[in-house]
Structure 1
Amino acid sequence: MSSQAHFSGPRPLVGLPACVKPLDGQDFHTIGDKYVRAVALASEAIPLVVPALGDLLEARAIVARLDGLVLTGSPSNVHPTRYGQGATPEHEPHDEARDATTLPLIEAALEAGLPLFAICRGHQELNVALGGTLHARVHELPERLDHRRPQHEEMDVQYGRRHTVRLSPGGPLAAIAGSEEIQVNSLHWQAIDRLAPGLTAEGLAPDGTIEAISVTGAAAFALGVQWHPEYKVLEDPVSTALFRAFGAAARERRGRFAQAAQ
């Protein structure tokens, strides 16, 4: 798949909230290279890492400066108190600074009609932000698959395709993918339990796990996937199509607001 430009004009600005990770007694704001690279390559946008500063940031002010928002995957989980459950070791590890940053950003983004692409932890954050709940360990539920990352040293094995996802006929994911069944590299141990009001399930794993969602009636691109389309994004046609569609929505928003400012 070629990485040559598919869009013309100024590149949109896309925010990607960071995680907070301790190292040598200090906290660092971090984000996986594959996410920022996918936004730059496939969405053809300028990635901007948003620090996880919680209440020190004003979500609406950040959203007003962005053309799109990508919520990334992470080793950490949304803190269970965010969806009405008590904290247990099964819910760990946590990153409450990220929760305090992403959940208000999601609300502000949807309020403003900002294009939103939620991946893995981001997919779960989107559900929690709108009032849904999560399973702490989906692999321990009866008749569920083991969705966890394979314990293998090779990244291509860890991020290899694991199972099919059936996409809703006529839904936005099926339209982007050009198919109602795709193979995905889904690796996680938490998953959506109760789907939030305002979300539509767009894709299911063979065991019934919700692997794709959309914001019902959203004015712009507003999708979440439990798998990892950012991994080697230009080598998988569906992954490329997802980031291209998100990039097109961000570019359209940038153009619309630039016109309004003239």
Structure 2
Amino acid sequence: MSTALATTRPLPVVLVPACNRVLGQHPFHVAGAKYVAAVRLAGALPLVVPDASVQELDPLLDLADGVLLTGSPSNVHPSHFGEAVHDATLPLDPARDAWTLPFIPRLVERRLPLLAICRGAQELNVALGGSLHQAVHALPGYADHRGQGETAESQYAPAHEVRVEPGGLLETVVRDAAFRVNSVHGQAVNRLAPGLRVEARAPDGLVEAFSVHGMDFALGVQWHPEWRAQDNPVSMRLLRAFGLACSERAARRHNRQEE
């Protein structure tokens, strides 16, 4: 392919929803730099979305070739799956819930490529009708999946193995039956939403990854593949597969605009 042809290939746009923080006395929209970097590693252009009204959801999706739902220190509010808050000391982000939960079914309807990480995976499950364990470590038979230690290096160190379910999207992408992942979460999937397929489990049986039926690329993962992704072959396979799906979507959109 010539350089001239290569430069005409559209760069896929990936929406990255922001979280909400109060810094000093003022509210801010924030997105973790590691997620923005992961989108770029996937070969796409990150577009951080602060929030959105109902009227803005479809115009945003019109711009997008993919979506990356980020992790966050905050949890999805349990009222969205019919429960009361069990631990009021844990952070919530109702402003993010307010627009991402109605946003997700719309992007699924459009079959946009999707990578949902940690909170993002939990968001995806809840938005489609599933529920969450609010404190996995308090449940009999489950391990403590929260990050250990005081530093980011220790908290994001490999913590346990995940076992890939055969015949699914994740197996196709990573080409491994099992691999080790970090673990930095207190909540996790309880009841899987209709239309979702388990793609991997932790040794204690906890759902670690799932896909969305009928979509070419839509994965929710409970670990953090964006952490030092460039040094992790499994993470890079995930990001490249996501980026390829977004690139194919961008090419189709570009071709339609030229018709």
Q: TM-score, normalised by structure 2?
A: 0.94
1:187 aligned residue: 184
SS of equivalent to 1:28: strand
CA drift at 1:251: 0.4
SS of equivalent to 1:81: helix
Q: Does 1:49 align with 2:48?
A: yes
- 1:58-83 per-residue CA deviation (whole Å, 9 max, x = no partner) reads 21221111110000000000001111
2:3 aligned residue: none
- 1:161-220 per-residue CA deviation (whole Å, 9 max, x = no partner) reads 1101111112110111111111111210001111111101110000011000000122x2
Could you list the runs of 5+ residues in structure 2 that have no partner in the other structure? 1-5
Q: Does 1:169 align with 2:166?
A: yes
Gap change, CA 1:8 and 1:160, over 3 Å in 2: farther
Gap change, CA 1:179 and 1:91, over 3 Å in 2: farther
Identity %: 49
Q: TM-score, normalised by structure 1?
A: 0.93
Aligned structure 1 segments of 4 or more residues deviating by more than 4 angstroms = none
1:261 aligned residue: 257
- In 2, distance between residues paired with 1:104 and 1:94? 17
Could you list the runs of 5+ residues in structure 1 that have no partner in the other structure? 1-5
- 1:3-52 per-residue CA deviation (whole Å, 9 max, x = no partner) reads xxx99833211100000011112110001100001111x21111010012
Gap change, CA 1:217 and 1:151, over 3 Å in 2: same
2:99 aligned residue: 101
SS of equivalent to 1:58: helix
Letter in 1 for 2:223: W
Instruction: Check the 8 A contact 1:201/1:212 in 2, yes or no.
Output: yes
SS of equivalent to 1:87: coil
Letter in 2 for 1:102: T
Instruction: Check the 8 A contact 2:118/2:223 in 1, yes or no.
Output: yes
- In 2, distance between residues paired with 1:90 and 1:241? 38
1:3 aligned residue: none
Q: For this pair of structures, how many residues does the alignment match?
A: 253
2:247 aligned residue: 251
- In 2, distance between residues paired with 1:132 and 1:33? 29
Q: Does 1:24 align with 2:24?
A: yes
Letter in 2 for 1:206: P
Letter in 1 for 2:150: H
Instruction: Check the 8 A contact 1:77/1:91 in 2, yes or no.
Output: no
- In 2, distance between residues paired with 1:259 and 1:8? 12
CA drift at 1:85: 1.0
2:14 aligned residue: 14
Instruction: Check the 8 A contact 1:67/1:250 in 2, yes or no.
Output: yes
- 1:107-138 per-residue CA deviation (whole Å, 9 max, x = no partner) reads 11111111111000000001001100001100
Instruction: Check the 8 A contact 2:10/2:254 in 1, yes or no.
Output: no
**What's the RMSD between the two structures over aligned residues?**
1.7
Counterpart mapping for 1:108-257 below 5 A: 108-153=106-151, 155-218=152-215, 220-257=216-253
Gap change, CA 1:235 and 1:191, over 3 Å in 2: same
Gap change, CA 1:121 and 1:91, over 3 Å in 2: farther
CA drift at 1:57: 5.3
